[in-house]
Chain A
Amino acid sequence: MATIIADNIISPLGNTTQANYQAVKAGKSALCQYDPELGIKREELGINVPFPFTASLFTQEQINEISIDGYTLFESLAINSIRKALEECQIPINERTCLVISSTKLGGVQGVQRVQGVQEVQGVQRVQSVQEIAHAVGITTTPIIVCNACISGVSALILGTRLIEMQQYDYVIVCGIDVQSTFIISGFQSLKALSETPCRPFDIDRTGLNLGEAAATVILSKDEKAGSWHITNAAIRNDAFHISSPSPKADGCLMAIETAMKGQNATELALVNAHGTATLYNDQMEARGLSRAGLADIPTNALKGYYGHTMGAAGILETIITIHSLDDHTIIGTKGYNELGVSGNINIVKENTPIREVQGVQEVQGVQKVQGVQKTDFLKIISGFGGCNAAIYVSKKGPTPKSSCERRWKTSHSIVITPQKVVLDNEIIVTHEVLPIKEERKEEMLTFLYKTRINNYPKFYKMDALARLGFIATELLLQKERETEGELNRQDRAVIFFNQSSSEHADKVFLSSISDPENFFPSPSAFVYTLPNIVNGEIAIRNNYRGETAFYILPKKDDDIIRMITQATLLDGYHKSIITGWLEYKSESDFLAELTIVIGYRLENKQKTKIKTIVPDDSVVGIR
Chain B
Amino acid sequence: MNELILELKEEIIKVLNLEDITPEDIDPKAPLFGAGGLGLDSIDALELIVLLEKRYGIRLASAAEGKTIFTSVENISKYVSENRKR
A residues sitting closer than 8 Å to B (CB atoms) are 190-192, 242-245, 458, 461-462, 521-525, 528
Shortest Cβ distance from residue B59 to the other chain A in the assembled complex, whole angstroms:
11
Instruction: Considering the complex, give the chain A residue whose CB is closest to the CB of B46.
Output: A524
Residue of B whose beta carbon sits closest to that of A460: B19
Contacting residue for B43 out of A458, A521, A522, A524, CB 8 A: A524
| In-complex Cβ contact of A524 among B18, B20, B47 (8 A) | B47
Do B63 and A528 have beta carbons less than 8 Å apart? Answer: no
**CB contact between A244 and one of B20, B21, B43 (< 8 Å): that residue:** B43
Interface residues of B in 55-77 (CB under 8 A from A): 62-63
Q: Does residue B50 face the partner (Cβ distance < 8 Å to A)?
A: yes
Q: Does B84 have its Cβ within 8 Å of any Cβ on chain A?
A: no
Please, which residue of chain B has its CB at the minimum distance from the CB of A463? B17
Tell whether, in the assembled complex, residue A521 and residue B50 are in contact, meaning their CB atoms are under 8 Å apart.
yes
B19 and A242 contacting across the interface, CB-CB below 8 Å: no
Nearest CB in chain B: distance from A279 CB, A: 11
Contact between B18 and A461, CB atoms less than 8 A apart: yes
Return B53 CB to nearest CB of chain A, in Å.
7
Distance between Cα atoms of A165 and B54 in the complex (Å): 53
Contacts of B19 in A (CB 8 A): 458, 461
**A to B CB contacts below 8 Å, 24 in the list:** A190-B46, A190-B50, A192-B46, A192-B49, A242-B41, A242-B42, A243-B43, A244-B42, A245-B41, A458-B18, A458-B19, A458-B20, A458-B21, A461-B18, A462-B16, A462-B17, A521-B50, A521-B53, A523-B47, A523-B50, A524-B50, A525-B16, A525-B44, A525-B46
Complex Cα distance, B53 from A190, in Å, reads 12
Chain B 2-15 against A: per-residue CB contact (8 Å), 1 yes, 0 no?
00000000000000
CB distance from B20 to the nearest CB of A (A): 5
Residues in B with CB closer than 8 Å to A523 are 47, 50
> Are B54 and A521 in touch, CB under 8 angstroms?
yes
Q: How many contacts between A and B, using CB within 8 angstroms?
A: 41
In the bound assembly, the distance between CA atoms of A462 and B43 in angstroms comes to: 10
Dominant secondary structure at the B interface = helix
Nearest A residue to B50 via CB reads: A521
* Distance between Cα atoms of A191 and B49 in the complex (Å): 10
What are the residues of chain A within 8 A of B50 when measuring CB–CB?
190, 521-524
List the A side residues contacting B54 at CB < 8 Å.
Answer: 521
- Of B16, B17, B43, B44, most A-chain CB atoms within 10 Å: B43
What CA separation (Å) do A572 and B49 show in the bound complex? 42
Q: Are the C-beta atoms of A192 and B18 separated by less than 8 Å?
A: no
Complex contacts, A524 vs chain B, CB 8 Å = 43, 46-47, 50
Least Cβ–Cβ distance between B37 and chain A, in angstroms:
13
Q: Please, which residues of chain A bring their CB within 8 A of the CB of B17? A: 461-462
Within 8 A of A (CB), among B33-48: 41-44, 46-47
* Known interface pairs A190-B50, A192-B62, A192-B63; A525-B43 also in contact (CB < 8 Å): yes
Quote the shortest CB–CB distance from A323 to chain B (angstroms).
Answer: 36
A242 to chain B, nearest CB (A): 7
- The closest CB in chain B to the CB of A526 belongs to B47
In the assembled complex, which residues on chain B have CB atoms less than 8 Å from the CB atom of A191? Answer: 43, 46
Q: Bound state CA distance, A245 and B43, in angstroms?
A: 9
User: Contact at A245–B42, with CB atoms within 8 Å?
Assistant: yes
Which residues of chain A have C-beta atoms less than 8 A from B21's C-beta? 458
The distance from the CB of B65 to the nearest CB of chain A, in whole angstroms, is 10
Residue numbers in B under 8 Å from A462 (CB-CB): 16-17
Known contacts A192-B62, A521-B50: does B43 contact A528 (CB below 8 Å)?
Answer: yes
A245–B53 alpha-carbon span in the complex (Å) = 23
Contact partners of A245 in chain B: CB under 8 A? 41-42
Which residues of B are found within 8 Å of A461, using beta-carbon distances?
A: 17-20
In the bound complex, CA of A498 to CA of B17 (Å): 27
Q: Which residue of chain A has the shortest Cβ distance to B61 in the bound complex?
A: A192
Q: In the bound complex, how far is the Cα of B46 from the Cα of A244, in angstroms?
A: 12
- Please give, as numbers and ranges, the residues of chain B lying within 8 Å of A243 by CB-CB distance: 43
Q: How far is the CA of A357 from the CA of B20 in the complex (A)?
A: 62
Report A255 CB to chain B, min CB distance, Å: 23
C-alpha spacing A458/B19, complex, angstroms: 7
